Amino acid sequence: MQQAAVTFFSDNITGLKIIEGSITDKTLLEGLFSDFKPSHVIHSAASYKDLRDWETDANTNILGTINVVECSLKHQVKRLINFQTALCYGRPNSVPIPVDHPVQPFTSYGISKASGEQYLALSGLPYVSLRLANVTGPRLSIGPIPTFYSRLKEGKACFASATVRDFLDMSDFLNLMDMVMDVDAASGIFNVSTGQGETIENVFNEVAKYLDIKLDAPVEVREVGDDDVSEVVLDAEKTKEIFGWEAKVGFEETIKKMLQWYDKFGVGHIYSHLSSAK
């Protein structure tokens, strides 16, 4: 996001307070940390919407992350959980991608997010950095699932990229979050994934099946763009070993739950970090 929301939680959800601002604003962060005195910080703010806007990506994903880390150190935060993109691996040498795979990003988003993670590791702050599969669930407004749903409902043409991705249900992700929030839990960098890859064509077919749309021909499949990666599937064996965690919800059920939510509430504005999707 260009303008990252800084969100602070009190002891219960009725005490939720949302402050709209940017993590590049260190004065704002200093004041919020001083007032709220958080014991835990979940850092998910990022700039990714324009792959040509290197300056905003660097300011948010690198300098903004440094601001969050420095405020966390100053106010003795017990644990920081960082959300990291799988694009930090770049075009992988092997799939599934192990967590010790070389970091070799080639996009502005990937480069800046990888840099922010390295500053976090340098800081000495107790942290967990989660390198994430495609976490999917209600309200999702990025990627092929809401795109296919919206376009098929409107009778518009669709195409699928010739890519493979891993899709993780939000409930499985939240189960892991309960574990990594524990201040006595292991620290470091972990992949978060089902370990199973699905083609984007498979995603299209699941959405079409749910909407009961009879297709005259298979969806058009286009070659991978220069700014994309053909296959991103993460190996989460270290995460399973350390936390005793693994994904429980299958691909079809994950998609179904999302589409049922869209039936009730619709789809918001859809974002992508890919130039070809704009």
Residues 146 and 103 in one domain: no
Say if 187 falls within a structural domain.
no
Find the domain containing 220 and state its range.
Answer: 134-167+195-240+248-272
CATH code of 60's domain: 3.40.50.720
Residue 174 resides in a domain: no
∠ CA 261-145-45, rounded to 5°: 85
Res 270: pLDDT: 66
Instruction: Please indicate, yes or no, whether residues 124 and 11 belong to a single structural domain of this protein.
Output: yes
Q: What's the pLDDT at 247?
A: 97
Q: What is the mean pLDDT of each run of 10 residues along the chain (278 residues)?
A: 44 74 97 96 90 93 98 98 97 97 96 98 97 92 92 95 97 97 97 97 97 94 92 98 97 96 86 54
Total domain count, the chain: 2
The confidence score (pLDDT) of residue 274 equals 56
Q: What is the pLDDT of residue 273?
A: 56
Residues 80, 157: one domain? Answer: no
pLDDT reported for residue 142: 83
Same structural domain, 95 and 224: no
What lies within 8 Å, CB to CB, of 189 at 6+ separation is: 84, 99, 117, 121, 128, 129, 131
| 229 class by beta-carbon count within 10 Å (0-12 exposed, 13-18 middle, 19+ buried) | buried
Report yes or no on 172 lying in a domain.
Answer: no
Question: pLDDT at position 139, please?
Answer: 84
Predicted pLDDT of residue 226: 85
